[in-house]
């Protein structure tokens, strides 16, 4: 028999909803620079997914165009880019016939 009631099952996790990369970075205790990187990588990833779907390409076709592995393309398409470099995201985008344009502004 237990002397105390288990408390771990009755505690609900705190849910935080964010709408921007900057607010996500703040919620996670990251720097504004990390937030900017999250935003850039997310934008690249979204564009790649959009182009692949519009062109109805297979992961194998995208991998050939970008000169990378199908496994990496699958990770990108699943938004699992933790181990994918920003350079590779740019190379995949270029292989799909697009380039990225970066604009500069003063940090807030």
In the chain, where are the structural domains located? 40-95
pLDDT score at 21: 85
In the chain, what are the helix, strand and coil shares in percent, each to the nearest 5? 55, 0, 45
Rounded to whole angstroms, the Cα distance separating 52 from 84 reads 17
pLDDT above 90 coverage of the chain, percent:
66
The per-residue pLDDT of the chain, averaged, comes to 90
Please count the other Cβ atoms lying within 10 Å of the Cβ belonging to residue 40: 15
Rounded to whole angstroms, the Cα distance separating 82 from 77 reads 12
Length of the chain: 108
Q: What is the mean pLDDT of residues 47-76?
A: 98
Q: What is the mean pLDDT of residues 58-74?
A: 98
* Residue 6, pLDDT above cutoff 80: no
Q: Which pTM does this prediction carry?
A: 0.80
Q: Render pLDDT for 9-23 as a digit per residue (tens, 0 to 9).
A: 667 888 888 888 888
CATH, domain range 40-95:
1.10.260
* Residue 101, pLDDT above cutoff 50: yes
pLDDT score at 1: 46
């Amino acid at each position: 028999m237990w002397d105390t009631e288990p408390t771990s099952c009755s505690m609900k996790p705190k849910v935080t909803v964010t709408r921007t990369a900057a607010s996500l970075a703040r919620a996670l205790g990251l720097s504004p620079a990390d937030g900017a990187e999250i935003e850039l990588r997310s934008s690249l990833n979204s564009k790649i997914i959009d182009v692949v779907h519009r062109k109805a390409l297979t992961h194998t076709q995208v991998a050939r165009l970008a000169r990378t592995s199908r496994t990496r393309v699958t990770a990108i398409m699943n938004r699992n880019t933790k181990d994918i470099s920003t350079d590779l995201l740019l190379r995949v985008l270029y292989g799909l016939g697009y380039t990225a344009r970066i604009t500069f502004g003063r940090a807030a």
